[in-house]
């Protein structure tokens, strides 16, 4: 679909269908009030009324704000995709809702058809967003940035949705190399020999039963006058069988999504580089596949991490934190960042605590977590803060090593996983670091808001908004 922003009068713009957003307060004064009343349209949020004879599609809005416009736009585009109309025109309500409008259309209209023998044919070719009474220059900037972030989110979704036999650690390296070439990013890849030289014993243990070699990916975006340096770390488990602590069969389905943190980090650096933000960004990804075999790492193994911290393995399905432990150590030693953010589908416990729509935030700086939550709200993503405490920290104490990879009790599982990662954050970086548990928010089998089946691209919009505000 081609989306254009036009400085024009809506009446002078040629298109087959005109889309209007309507709140219940606007119904009484609408020209088609009688028709809408007969159709039973009450302008409730995300409701749709198609007046084909008038070439008019009406979308219900609870209020004229970005979140509501995003959700209504997603409902609108899903309806229009099943029609045979080729062009649409929409009047832009305001600059503040334009991003929601663009994201609703692009993200709500997203489809992943790579494995369909007969992909769906969509008639819509052109979507015109029209205004002649707003500051067009300001609108155009908002529009371009919204397109970049929405497309970066779809880029992230595509990688998440790619099947595990196709997207393994080495093919994820290829994706990163292509992104680096396309966006003029620096790219450094550490293969298994390099990881061994770096003494990344935890990361190498997780991947050693896979036929696909593990790798550490480091992409860098370095603008001329960077205001800050940000390190983004992504968990890249391209598939997670659970290892010898094998997952139940039903839990193994969808485990291609365990690379969502890595995919999100790629989407973030893609968006930042295309918006040409004055922020230096380093993306670090631990690309690993957790499989079973005669050489698989085992419960009761003692691993020596890159930092020298020894780890007692109690469960091989708590593997993401082992990979992140080494990647966090490497990232801190190689880049002196102002902020360090890691993204991982780390724990089902986070979904139990916050629900499937919300990303869990953990860290030591309340101000930093607040700033991120504010950016998340502005972007339309949902976050919830999970507090560290010294009592839960006792649950990952080991009697025979420095730390256990799982807690001794099944409570506060998302927090104890975050506290495990905290062990590998240098003291001078404690207040610079935030851990994002996207286990619930990164993938969905039930469409909601502007998210369709599969990967959601969680984190890309939120961090893009945060970076824009620096």
**Which residues are annotated as catalytic?**
247, 321
| Phi, psi values for residue 50, rounded to 5° | -105, 110
Q: Which residues of 98-124 are buried (b: 16+ CB within 10 A; e: fewer)?
A: bbbbbbbbbbbbbebeeeeeeeeebeb
Tell me the C-alpha distance between 153 and 150, whole Å: 5
Tell me the C-alpha distance between 328 and 5, whole Å: 42
DSSP code string of 188-235 = EEE-HHHHHHTT-HHHHHHHTTSSSPPEEEEEEE--TT-S-EEEEEEE
Cβ distance 361 to 385 under 8 Å? yes
Tell me the C-alpha distance between 89 and 70, whole Å: 16
Name the residue among 267, 260, 270, 277 with its Cα closest to residue 185: 270
Cβ distance 56 to 15 under 8 Å? no
* CA-only gyration radius of the chain, Å: 23
Cβ distance 263 to 211 under 8 Å? no
| Phi, psi values for residue 169, rounded to 5° | -55, -40
> CA distances (Å), 2 to each of 88, 89, 105, in order?
10, 12, 11
DSSP code string of 250-318 = HHHTTGGGGGHHHHHHHHHHHHHHHHT-S-EEEEEEEEEEE--STT---TT-EEE-TTS-EEE-S-TT-
Tell me the C-alpha distance between 225 and 467, whole Å: 14
DSSP code string of 419-466 = HHHHTTS-GGGGGGEEEEE-TTTSEESS-BTTB-SEE--TTHHHHHHH
Tell me the C-alpha distance between 190 and 133, whole Å: 53
Q: What's the number of CA atoms in the CB half-sphere (13 Å) around residue 284?
A: 22
Tell me the C-alpha distance between 78 and 435, whole Å: 34
Cβ distance 454 to 262 under 8 Å? no
């Amino acid at each position: 679909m081609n989306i254009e922003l036009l400085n024009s009068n809506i009446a002078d713009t040629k298109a087959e269908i005109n889309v209007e957003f309507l709140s219940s307060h606007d119904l009484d004064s609408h020209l088609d009030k009688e028709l809408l009343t007969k159709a039973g349209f009450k302008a409730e949020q995300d409701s749709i009324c198609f007046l084909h004879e008038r070439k008019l599609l009406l979308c219900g809005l609870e209020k004229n704000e970005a979140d509501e416009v995003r959700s209504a736009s997603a409902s609108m585009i899903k309806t229009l995709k099943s029609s045979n109309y080729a062009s649409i025109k929409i009047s832009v309500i305001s600059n503040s809702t334009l991003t929601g409008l663009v994201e609703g259309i692009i993200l709500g209209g997203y489809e992943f058809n790579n494995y369909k023998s007969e992909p769906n044919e969509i008639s819509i070719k052109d979507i015109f967003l029209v205004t002649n009474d707003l500051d067009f220059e300001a609108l155009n900037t908002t529009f371009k940035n919204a397109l970049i972030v929405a497309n970066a989110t779809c880029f992230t979704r595509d990688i998440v949705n790619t099947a595990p036999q196709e997207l393994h650690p080495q093919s994820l390296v290829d994706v990163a190399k292509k992104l680096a070439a396309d966006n003029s990013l620096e790219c450094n890849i550490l293969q298994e020999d390099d990881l061994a030289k770096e003494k990344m014993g935890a990361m190498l243990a997780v991947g050693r039963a896979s036929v696909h070699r593990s790798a550490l990916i480091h992409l860098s975006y370095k603008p001329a006058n960077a205001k800050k340096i940000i390190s983004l770390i992504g968990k890249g488990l391209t598939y997670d069988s659970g290892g010898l602590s094998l997952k139940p069969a039903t839990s193994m389905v969808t485990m291609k999504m365990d690379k969502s943190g890595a995919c999100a980090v790629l989407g973030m650096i893609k968006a930042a580089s295309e918006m040409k933000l004055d922020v230096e960004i380093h993306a670090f990804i631990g690309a690993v596949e957790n499989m079973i075999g005669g050489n698989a790492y085992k419960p009761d193994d003692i691993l020596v991490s890159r930092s020298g911290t020894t780890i007692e393995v109690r469960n091989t399905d708590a593997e993401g934190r082992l990979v992140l432990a080494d990647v966090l150590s490497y990232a801190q030693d190689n880049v002196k960042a102002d902020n360090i953010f890691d993204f991982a589908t780390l724990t089902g416990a986070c979904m139990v605590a916050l629900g499937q729509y919300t990303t869990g935030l953990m860290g030591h700086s309340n101000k930093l977590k607040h700033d991120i939550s504010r950016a998340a709200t502005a972007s339309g993503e949902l976050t919830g803060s999970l507090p560290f405490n010294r009592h839960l920290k006792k649950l990952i104490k080991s009697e025979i090593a420095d730390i256990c990879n799982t807690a001794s009790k099944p409570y506060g599982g998302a927090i104890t996983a975050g506290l495990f990662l905290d062990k590998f954050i240098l003291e001078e970086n404690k207040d610079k670091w935030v851990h994002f548990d996207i286990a619930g928010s990164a993938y969905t089998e039930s469409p909601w808001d502007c998210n369709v089946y599969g990967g959601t691209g969680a984190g890309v919009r939120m961090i893009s908004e945060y970076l824009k505000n620096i």
